[in-house]
Amino acid sequence: MKSLRKTSAVLDCFTREDRRLTLAEIAARTGLPKTSVHRQLAALREIGFLVQDGRRDAYRLGFRLLALGGVVLADIDLMRHARAPAETLANQSGEAVHICVFDGRNVVSIERREMEAASNEIVRIEREPPHCTGTGKAILSTLSDADADRLLDDLPSDGALPRFGPNTITDRVRLRRDLTVCRARGYAVDDEERNPGVRCVGAPIRRHGQVVGAISVTGPAARFPDARLPVLAEMVMATAAKIGLNLER
């Protein structure tokens, strides 16, 4: 089933930022010949994974993918059980809280609107690179080296891990050392690795001993001095444990 790899590569071109792409753009990003891309696009359009606005316009992801995502969403009881503890954590820490879900292969963050706003709608569902976020590293730190490597292999890579800023750990050996530290102390720190100026403390959420997600607090580096990290980490870990307990029942 080699062709599905290409199909997957085509779909991967679409991101939150690039939601409308032309055949040529997709060909350039995937490195595939235009003809192959054209065939892929036609097939994806046929099954409703892509739609074209006009007759010759750019492509968008189709709503059928939204529906499939909805099926997945229905499967996540982590979100239900995490709600109350997450809000408590947000109040305790005074910082933004992120929750991630993990299915053994993908780390996806589900963000809600800021707590201040009246509504609490899900506004962002987004894949996260695991090697440079508090939640991602928290999850990685609980995995075997083989499992962790499989996750990292999914990243777009030209040898090193993708860089997002000066602090991003792009070397696998260095990352592995960092993960050992995380594993030992029970929490992960993202020190401006994903977004310069933003720090983050994350801990894994387990059900029956298995990681199913992670939770973190995030904020400007100025509000996250080294001395405060252990304090925040305690809260985060306690919250993660609470959610885990909720899940077991």
Give the residues lining the site for DNA (CB under 7 A): 1-4, 6, 22-24, 32-36, 38-41, 55-56, 58
Q: How many CB atoms lie within 10 A of CB 14?
A: 18
Q: How far is it, in rounded angstroms, from Cα 114 to Cα 136?
A: 21
Of the candidate spans 58-66, 137-145, 179-187, 228-236, the one that interacts with a copy of itself by CB under 8 A turns out to be 58-66
Of the candidate spans 40-48, 165-173, 200-208, 225-233, the one that interacts with a copy of itself by CB under 8 A turns out to be 40-48
**Nearer CB in complex with DNA: 5/16:** 5
List strands edge to edge, sheet with 188-191: 122-127, 107-112, 96-102, 210-220, 198-207, 188-191
Q: From the list a copy of itself, DNA, none, which binds 24 (C-beta under 5 to 8 Å, kind-based)?
A: DNA
Q: From the list a copy of itself, DNA, none, which binds 23 (C-beta under 5 to 8 Å, kind-based)?
A: DNA
Q: How many CB atoms lie within 10 A of CB 58?
A: 15
CB of 103 to DNA, least distance (A): 17
3-state secondary structure of 159: coil
Tell me if 75 contacts a copy of itself by CB under 8 A.
yes
Residues 6+ apart with CB under 8 A from 143: 151, 211
CB 24 within 8 A of CB 34: yes
Instruction: Return the residues of window 174-233 that contact a copy of itself according to CB under 8 A.
Output: none
Q: How far is it, in rounded angstroms, from Cα 134 to Cα 153?
A: 19
- Which residues sit at the interface with a copy of itself, rule CB under 8 A? 1, 3-5, 7-8, 11, 14-16, 19, 39-40, 42-44, 46-49, 51, 60-75, 101-108, 112, 118-122, 124-127, 154
